[in-house]
């Protein structure tokens, strides 16, 4: 194994451990109990599907995996994007924390059918994001233009301009339901605002720095939801 490959392995493993730790803390510390079956099911689905996508990228596209690992507010070059990523991180953590508090204080009750539906949305969101990764090898976690990058207009990109964000929104919509919290659905609104803010900034950057992107936007009108917006 080369030094670069070994470094990627360590970074990937540490990233997974950090993900599991943060999710575990957010899900079980506020409720102060491990008797929260919705959280266990959600954690299994989230970590398992993240692992499957990571293994796929490790084997098929390690460069994309490396770009995906370079994420978060610190990784962004533009001040506005660092701010957006900070808000996104806070909102996502809140969307995980709130159901745990909801569970502890019994603020709301979600029927089993909706919990299962929420789990389905989480899985569907991951599937949509996986399809995007297969279609677009330039899907980095930061807004940038890689060497040799070109406009992708096939697959889900023929339907909406930002299918990765569409998948993320589906997953984020399902998360509160999967965790059995009605109140946590309120966090979907700020998450949507942050994602819309980010994609609008991304479109400005790509229109200015990626050849052919403006023409692509004229061809594919929908940003997130086909025939809606």
**CATH number of the structural domain spanning residue 170:** 1.20.120.1630
Per-residue pLDDT at 76 exceeds 90: no
Q: Which domain holds residue 92?
A: 3-219
Report which listed range, 73-82, 109-118, 194-203, is most confident: 109-118
Is 224 part of any domain? no
Average pLDDT on 76-90 reads 82
Q: How many domains does the chain have?
A: 1
CA distance 34 to 61: 37
| Confidence at residue 44, expressed as pLDDT on a 0 to 100 scale | 96
CA distance 1 to 7: 10
| Confidence at residue 144, expressed as pLDDT on a 0 to 100 scale | 80
| Confidence at residue 188, expressed as pLDDT on a 0 to 100 scale | 92
Burial-class residue 188 by CB neighbours within 10 Å (0-12, 13-18, 19+): middle
Give Cβ neighbours of residue 44 (< 8 Å, ≥ 6 apart): none
Band the pLDDT of 100: cuts 50, 70, 90: very high
For residues 42 and 100, is the Cβ–Cβ distance under 8 A? Answer: no
CA distance 161 to 172: 19
Is 47 part of any domain? yes
CA distance 34 to 173: 24
Band the pLDDT of 37: cuts 50, 70, 90: very high
Indicate the pTM of the whole model: 0.91
Is 153 part of any domain? yes
Is 225 part of any domain? no
Give Cβ neighbours of residue 84 (< 8 Å, ≥ 6 apart): 76, 194, 197, 198, 201
Q: 3-state SS of the chain: helix, strand, coil percent to 5?
A: 70, 0, 30
Average pLDDT on 166-177 reads 96
Give Cβ neighbours of residue 119 (< 8 Å, ≥ 6 apart): 41, 42, 45, 174, 177, 178
Length of the chain: 229
Average pLDDT on 112-116 reads 97
For residues 42 and 122, is the Cβ–Cβ distance under 8 A? Answer: yes
Is 228 part of any domain? no
Cα-Cα-Cα-Cα torsion 93, 101, 27, 67, nearest 10 degrees, comes to -10
| Confidence at residue 126, expressed as pLDDT on a 0 to 100 scale | 96
Distances from the Cα of 80 to the Cαs of 35, 37, 75, 214, in angstroms? 40, 39, 12, 22
Is 227 part of any domain? no
For residues 100 and 30, is the Cβ–Cβ distance under 8 A? Answer: yes
Is 155 part of any domain? yes
């Amino acid at each position: 194994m080369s030094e670069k490959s070994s470094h990627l392995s360590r970074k990937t493993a540490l990233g997974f451990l950090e993900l599991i730790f943060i999710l575990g803390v957010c899900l079980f510390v506020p409720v102060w109990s491990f008797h929260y079956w919705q959280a266990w099911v959600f954690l299994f689905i989230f970590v398992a599907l993240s692992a499957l996508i990571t293994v796929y990228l490790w084997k098929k596209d390690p460069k994309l995996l490396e770009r995906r690992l370079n994420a978060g507010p610190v990784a962004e070059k533009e001040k506005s994007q660092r701010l957006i990523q900070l808000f996104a991180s806070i909102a996502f953590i809140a969307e995980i924390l709130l159901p745990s508090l909801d569970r502890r204080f019994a603020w709301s009750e979600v029927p089993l059918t909706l919990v299962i539906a929420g789990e389905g949305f989480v899985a569907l969101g991951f599937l949509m994001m996986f399809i995007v990764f297969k279609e677009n090898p330039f899907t980095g976690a930061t807004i940038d233009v890689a060497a040799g990058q070109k406009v992708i207009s096939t697959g889900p990109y023929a339907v909406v301009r930002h299918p990765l964000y569409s998948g993320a929104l589906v997953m984020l919509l399902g998360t509160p339901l999967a965790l059995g919290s009605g109140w946590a659905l309120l966090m979907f609104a700020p998450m949507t605002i942050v994602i819309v803010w980010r994609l609008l900034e991304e479109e400005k950057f790509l229109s200015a720095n990626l050849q052919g992107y403006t023409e692509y936007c004229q061809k594919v009108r929908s940003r997130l939801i086909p025939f809606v917006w």
